[in-house]
Structure 1
Amino acid sequence: MLKFLLKIGLVIFLQFFSMNIQAQIIEFRDQEREKIVKEQKNFLNAQEKIFLENLKMLKQIKEKLTKIEEILKISNFEIIKLEKQLFEIQKNDFSKLTQEDLLIIKEASISIQEVRDYYKKFEEQYSSLKNQIKKINSLSQEKQKSLVSQIDYLLSKKNDFNFKINAQLTEIKSFLDPISKIL
């Protein structure tokens, strides 16, 4: 009988001990889960912060690119206007024009092409940056900052570009207008 009671006592003790170990294991798992959940939450918060910063940066980039795009559209319109004027002049009979007028037409044609080339160069820089922006989320923070710097640089050159284009177009127009009136 004593052996039987000892066996029952041992079984009860082992079950109690086993339950105690299981409780500790469950508590340990819960602590580990909480720790993992907390780490994931911190990671997600950090990712959200980065995402919001990128979103803000993209909005600023879009505003800057819009300014550059407006200048490009206006300049392109003005260049096209002068190209049309030159084309109309070249369609006419040149018998009424002097040698100097013909030289002016030739120079205007060359100047318009130079302006167009300058415009295309600026437009290519703009297009390149715009294409890089499409991949901005896959870029590192350093490359994103570099891209923003390039856009800022292009934006700072926008005024020089606009001034140079307008000055050349105005000069070309001042030469072509009198010839247009003759024809």
Structure 2
Amino acid sequence: MSTEKKKDLRTYTSDLLALEKHFMNAIKKQKASDKVKDDRVIELMHELDKMVSTHVKSLERHVDRLGGEMKSDIKSKIASFTGSVAGLMDSVRSDTVSKMMRDDYTALSMITIGYTMLHTHALAEEDELLADLTTEHMTRCTSLITEISKVVPLVVASEMIEDEKRAEIIGQKALENTQAAWKPDVVNREPEIV
């Protein structure tokens, strides 16, 4: 791989590392929020924290393997991502838990498409180590995006409805309805672009 192509790959990997670090900080703040009391949300945030911490360590190793990065570059990347994601994720004090979960879903979707792009780039540059890592990380991300989508209806219902039994019934019904929208027969319908 040429020096220029290696630099590009390092830049794209560093960009994703900056986004993952920002997400990790947001998750840690959310976990510390006194608003988070639902056991399902606590467990989900724990899983998100474990995942993103692992991702950060892996990406740091790959950035080093690709030649490292100067601290000033990391700061500027985090600052640029802050503009696009921080508004969503840094309002932990005022947000409801359901909005925190929505913002986590959004951030994780952005991270996942970043892995899709980096994976494609790694394949094009024949960097099998990075291609394998991005596939592994994408798989973890998509699994937790799905889990967030399952928890959100239950949390919204519990925030809106005081009667716990009714909130659970409504939350379960919303969960069934929203998950039906993601079944293979729905997602694989025409039009197929690819």
TM > 0.5: no
Structure with the bigger RCO (C-alpha within 8 Å, sep 6+) is: 1
Larger CA Rg, structure 1 vs 2: 1
TM-score range, shorter chain: 0.3 to 0.5
- Point out the structure with the larger helix share: 1
